[in-house]
Structure 1
């Protein structure tokens, strides 16, 4: 039964993502995805300061909120914002996406899935308050970001 529900939910999310993509101009897709990834990076920075560097006093509520935000963005369907016409600069929006991304969607989906899994683990570990486990999970999320950037992000 869980498999049927998961399959139905996946189909629903995919159709919603395709519909959302069709309703958002390429320029707006670039702007939205850049905003989402920037917000994710800001939250990664909060975790890094509190759990990795210790430059900011540890605050359990903030750590959980940051980790939950990262997981929410990673699982939000942000991939729908890589629609046709977004492989190049559009209007006032500049992109650093390598056009090769659009020719390798199965690989991109795998990388995105890895990110979602790692982000979910980070959120779960953040809830425990175990700083060592959070550090490990944080590193795994960072690896998933780097894996995609190395393949599909232009400098």
Structure 2
């Protein structure tokens, strides 16, 4: 647990530095691309747990989700990304930028759940994947419910 907290603090420090190097409209574009790619991979896992289970497809999708979750996407929530910029729209609520401690906790929960999903997928056990998939989805929903506009 202490290791994950230290990692979170380091990630937030690096995120602040990295966000200064990317234009706000590009930060929004990149974070949306990351979330879209994770969503696509979550859809692949859902199709596998609800239908014919292909362990290789599930493992590849889970690894992609875990990689993006651990990539430091917090850097893409820098100053100026709390509102639309030109034709680049954001669904992040202003409350997200006012509650970074809570957002950081939600992000660490998601990161841990995504890593657990990848571990379950590596086992090839459909029941374990279903459970980890549900837990990962719940961490997504927890953030969406608080900080994403409809």
**TM above 0.5, one fold?**
yes
Structure 1 residue 17 displacement after superposition: 2.1
Structure 1 residue 49 displacement after superposition: 0.4
Alpha-carbon separation, structure 2, partners of 1:13 and 1:152: 20
State yes or no: 1:62 paired with 2:60. Answer: no
Match of 2:131 in 1: 136
Alpha-carbon separation, structure 2, partners of 1:104 and 1:28: 22
Structure 1 residue 59 displacement after superposition: 2.1
Match of 2:106 in 1: 111
Structure 1 residue 11 displacement after superposition: 5.9
Larger Rg: 1
Match of 2:40 in 1: 42
Alpha-carbon separation, structure 1, partners of 2:87 and 2:139: 29
Q: 1:105 to 1:12 in 2, by over 3 A?
A: closer
Gaps of 5+ in 2: none
Alpha-carbon separation, structure 2, partners of 1:154 and 1:101: 10
TM-score by length of 2: 0.92
Aligned residue pairs, count? 148
Gaps of 5+ in 1: none
The answer to whether the 8 Å contact 2:12/2:74 transfers is no
Alpha-carbon separation, structure 2, partners of 1:47 and 1:89: 32
State yes or no: 1:151 paired with 2:146. Answer: yes
C-alpha RMSD of the superposition: 1.7
